[in-house]
Structure 1
Amino acid sequence: MNTFGRAFRLTTFGESHGPAVGAVVDGCPAGLEICEGDIQAELDRRRPGQGAVTSKRSEPDRVEILSGVFEGKTTGMPVAMLVRNVDVDSSSYEPIKDLLRPGHADYGYLAKYGFRDYRGGGRSSGRETVGRVMGGAIAKKLLSRAGIGVYAHTVSIHDVKAGEVTLEDVIKNPYTNRVRCADLSAVRAMEDAIMRAKQEGDSVGGIVEVIATGVPAGLGSPVFGKLDADLAGALMGIGAVKGVEIGLGFRSAELRGSEMNDEFYVDGEVKTRTNRAGGILGGISTGMPIVCRVAVKPTPSISIPQRTINVKEMKDAIIEVKGRHDPSIVPRIVPVVEAMVALVLADHMVLSGKMGPRL
């Protein structure tokens, strides 16, 4: 499947080392003001080549809107977008094309299709997320019309954890540093953790939190189509993500009901005194901020020798992955996490009838 969503749909296409990657958004209401600059701003947060803590692959990631926008507004037709791959170098993959890279999707692709694009993993590469970010940019612009904001930030890298932060910190501070952390006092230690791993030919993972504000109560369904289930599926659909929690998540298993429950009160509208459920109860939004966290694994491409097999000769082998890779994918996954949450919320807003065929 290369299409995501039911009413607000995103299709992505292209490979890491092919000529281009792109996306098509269908179901966006007509009349939304959008331009390449809106999409470019999100792509710039995701693109590689932004310093020592990211891959040295230097891609400008310049977006071209091919259809679905006229005189600065969406027409209601599919919005097609393209980003051309510029800095492609597949030479480092030739020597290991028959070796399965530990931690990668190589064997899964081979088992399913009997064939794979070994140049950077093809569709399994993190470069596929360019299309998600483009689609997410349109979703975020649409949601902003309804007063909904989606903000993600790094809360840990390896064993370095950020401290308590405010929503204002989450909205502003990740734009000011390379690790996308809202706690500015933790930035240096996070950078150091990434650089130590890089110098040792290794990599590190971390945790990213995302907060959606202004989401109205009533989105989602009580059985199938639960909002939290759709969010979990969307976030788990990001290649490097190995875990998702909503609200207190796994911490809730350690609590009593009296500690976990969010008590209600009225302040012009129904609210809860706490938000341990993360803004969703029974699969339906409560009107409180939606809070999710994702566990991001260490980048699997490392230069430390690892044991594997040569699938052509079907025998044991040693692999050392060369090339340009992120010592930590955490900073660059922040806008991707925002994009996936925005896509889910936009889909549910359109499904609910809160966003019609035109604005």
Structure 2
Amino acid sequence: MASGGGDDELEVSNKQVIFKDYVSGFPKESDMYLKTNGTIKLKVPEGSNGLLVKNLYLSCDPYMRNRMKKSTDSLVPGSPIVGFGVAKVVDSGNPKFRKGDLVWGRTGWEEYSLITDVQDLFKIEHTDVPLSYYTGILGMPGLTAYGGFYEVCSPKKGEYVFVSAASGAVGQLVGQFAKLLGCYVVGSAGSKEKVDLLKNKLKFDEAFNYKEESDLDAALKRYFPEGIDIYFENVGGKMLDAVLLNMRTHGRIAVCGMISQYNLEKPEGVYNLTHMIYKRVHMKAFVVFDYYHLYPKFLDLVLPHIAEGNIVYLEDIAEGLESGPAALVGLFSGLNVGKQVVLVAQE
């Protein structure tokens, strides 16, 4: 549906996924709702250096749960959900972007978005891969995996690497980076299907279902009898506690996320931190923005591996903006297999 007297005034309908209010406990689909009666002008306001974009793919990511709590970086109740996505420029007030450009970065959960802060938007130059990859392997999760593994962990060939939440958007890449480097890699996941994917499709050396392990310390000793050099942390809680008992001297832990803690009113404590002293373990937290400056270097590494089939990337694509709430909530009960993406529109 469109109205207006000319292209400069063209106004179209704009469906949006609205964040209802701050969330405690596990998020529910009812914490969001689809607004269908909104409209938007397909023109950047006069004097703005922003972009008007048509959203193509939206990214569902665990960190978004933390933005549903009241904090300095919260989502705004009554406004669209905001996250990473892939979009096409409809109109530009910025000299760095032109109409028709494809971009990835933060955008709204809606059909069209006016993006006023373009500082962290990346122009998509390589279109010989699926555009959805820019929500995953070539976007925020890919750069997260790269920065956390190579920059934080400083890996060496032959080291022992453990990845938790290993079939997720970031974990599946960390494991494959480690295998390409010549490391021994084990991943944990939450279902038999995911464990099979890790071993058979993603070529991890071993994988286990943490839900079937009553003693995580014993499970890790089974897979790492000589200990763990590198732990890529996506889970936290009891898993982190068990890992601390199994780290090797001068081991490294990259703290990327702690999905087991996001929905708890009172986070679990960690009890084995003294082992970091005895083993001189280096544990460092990071966020993807720390490594934005390395994005060109990251692409130089990853694009040839994709072209040569050395890296496999699993996606779970939900179709339609209206499927967004269920897709996002499903992350926290492990319903997704691979990177969870929402297809909003074809290019």
Instruction: Assess same fold via TM > 0.5.
Output: no
**Greater relative contact order (Cα 8 A, min sep 6): structure 1 or 2?**
1
Q: TM-score by structure 1 length?
A: 0.23
Q: TM-score by structure 2 length?
A: 0.24
